[in-house]
Structure 1
Amino acid sequence: MRSLKINIDDDVYSISHPISTINLYKIVHPKGSFEITRTRYTGEWKVLIQTNKSVTLPVAPIGRVIEERLGIVTKSLSVR
């Protein structure tokens, strides 16, 4: 599992990539936890699970950091 901590607008986010074969990232913030993914076709980052609905996650900046530091999964899995 790869992980890192980032600081955006004075908020610290802990990001982990628990499963290396899929684009699923867990983000922990003092005000809540999130799971995000990057869509394969558009490249857009989306929040899948959010524990505190009143917190707005800066998905785009966090996604850019993930792409730069952790990388994203680009290979597709084939089903036979």
Structure 2
Amino acid sequence: MVSNNPIDMLKTTSLIQKAITNPYIGVFVSLLLIIPSLYIILEDISVIRKEYIFLAIGIPIYIKSLNKIFDNILNLDKDLFK
């Protein structure tokens, strides 16, 4: 149910923005695209399928999300040694 209350809409919007920018959710969503696509593609790789598009979208999201996670880990270590 959608509310017309601006405070509820702001909370929902901020929650969605946090979810989109969270790298762990990015990894999860990209794996949801990559794994089924690979399963279908590997059955017969000579046929052009829509799963190639899902694979082309999922791999960059996966790499970008992992990059954010590893950057956060490396920056955390720098803060510990200061």
TM-score range, shorter chain: under 0.3
TM-score by length of structure 2 reads: 0.26
TM-score by length of structure 1 reads: 0.26
Higher relative contact order (CA 8 A, sep 6+): 2
